[in-house]
Amino acid sequence: MQTFAFLIHPLSIDDVAKKYKIAKRVSPKVVGQVLRRRPPFVISEIEGIVSATGAKAKGWFVVVPLLPWQFHQLEEDYVLEKIAKACKVARKEGAKIVGLGAFTAMVGNGGERLADLVDIPITTGNTYTTTTAIQGALKAADIMNITTSKSTLAVVGASGSIGRACAQLLAPKFKNILLVGRNIEHLEEVDAILKPNTDGEIRLMTSVSEAVAQSDVILTVTGAVEAVIEPQDIKSGAVVCDVARPRDVSKLVSMVRDDVLVIDGGIIKPPGQVDFKIEFGPPPGMCEGCVGETIILALEGRYENYTLGKKITPAKVMEMSQLADKHGFKLAGLRRLEKLVTDKQIEDIKSSVKKRHLAV
Ligand SMILES: NC(=O)c1ccc[n+]([C@@H]2O[C@H](COP(=O)([O-])OP(=O)(O)OC[C@H]3O[C@@H](n4cnc5c(N)ncnc54)[C@H](OP(=O)(O)O)[C@@H]3O)[C@@H](O)[C@H]2O)c1
């Protein structure tokens, strides 16, 4: 039996309240202080993974008790030490590789510093997340009849690990490409990598709302703690693939915009009858691309540091895509806020777009 562990952490006070109801009755500051003192712990054993090759794997979710804002505000060394402790818990449980979930993957230059502190292979899972985010964004664009070669793409968080790789692979398909982030120098580095393989016009932008307002397809994957895309920002008929956790797209969008298609990036269905035993976001039996990558590496017996740092190569994205096919991993359809987007909903979005165009 192959084994793995995956590190998770609460994304909000609501997440903490699922286990400790009192969290909603005290201030966020107090919740943060309590979590800070809590050591990492195993929250569930993951069973039922059976690859298309017949290989089997089991794993564990290990909680790093910190909220998103604490990953930014606390000393990096303190946070890394806590994540290293979680890796120790995973190893003791029997895991042979550890995947880093959400903000645990962003600390210490995308796992690079952590790799020096632990004696177990680690991966951020960002390679397979990139694969699935691209597949989802292109599928959604196709469904909304967007011809990419005539359209504008915005990658929000384009200088990050996932954003950079997504921009590299998607840019050649679009007419205009907007690379968006807070720091122009970071974006210039990405621009230099994209230019040789991109015929379209590339622009660098620091205003998320300005970039989003001009775009037909938006792939958003920032490390922001709060939403960065609001309802009024999005063009009618646009597709938004939201890969970030916590999400980049405000929840208000699904309430007030019936003329845009917003999908969760990277939700997949691993092979077998997988039971994760906890509610960690995706529907039962499904998981995010980063969890998928960790499982794939375990099924392959590839117990090595796989995705680390900020530079994911297209060759690696291709390799992960082939391994995912080999083991029977599938994109779990287009999903929004963990629910399947139905054909009827797509038709409704299209008809709202038409109505808005007629009204203008
Ligand atoms: N769905 C999944 O399966 C999955 C898997 C893995 C990770 N994730 C999520 O993906 C996100 C990014 O992960 P990553 O490893 O690629 O992180 P990363 O390497 O740290 O990149 C984050 C990017 O976001 C930009 N950024 C941060 N705050 C911003 C803001 N307020 N406005 C605009 N841009 C901002 C940063 O650029 P500047 O600093 O230059 O602004 C950087 O380009 C996280 O939310 C993570 O939890 C999702």
Domain ranges of the chain: 2-127+267-331, 131-266+334-359
The model's confidence at residue 282, banded by pLDDT at 50, 70 and 90, is: confident
Q: 224 alpha carbon to ligand 1 midpoint, in Å?
A: 7
- φ/ψ region of 263 (left if φ > 0, alpha if ψ in -120 to 50, else beta) reads beta
Ligand 1 atom at shortest distance from the alpha carbon of 105 = 15
Q: Is the CB of residue 105 less than 8 Å from the CB of residue 124?
A: yes
Mean pLDDT calculated for residue range 294-308: 97
- Which residue is it, tokens 């996932």? 162
Strands (E) across the chain are located at 2-8, 41-50, 56-63, 98-100, 122-123, 152-156, 176-180, 201-205, 217-220, 239-242, 261-264, 267-269, 272-275, 287-288, 330-331, 335-336, 339-340
- 166 pLDDT above the threshold of 80: yes
Nearest CA to ligand 1 atom 10: 244
- Which pLDDT belongs to residue 357? 81
With the most atoms of ligand 1 within 8 angstroms of its CB, the residue from 66, 162, 228, 334 to mutate is 162
Quote the pTM value. 0.92
Question: CB atoms < 10 A from the CB of 44, how many?
Answer: 17
With the most atoms of ligand 1 within 8 angstroms of its CB, the residue from 222, 311, 338 to mutate is 222
pLDDT tens track for 63-97: 999 999 999 999 999 999 999 999 999 999 999 99
Q: 311 alpha carbon to ligand 1 midpoint, in Å?
A: 13
- Alpha-carbon span 320 to 296, nearest angstrom: 8
- Which residue is it, tokens 């895991």? 95
- Alpha-carbon span 233 to 210, nearest angstrom: 7
Q: Is 245 in the pocket of ligand 1 (CB under 6 A)?
A: yes
Q: Is 266 in the pocket of ligand 1 (CB under 6 A)?
A: yes
For 131-266+334-359, which CATH class?
A: alpha beta
The neighbouring-strand residues paired with 220 are 156, 242
- Alpha-carbon span 70 to 127, nearest angstrom: 25
Share of the chain above pLDDT 90, in %: 87
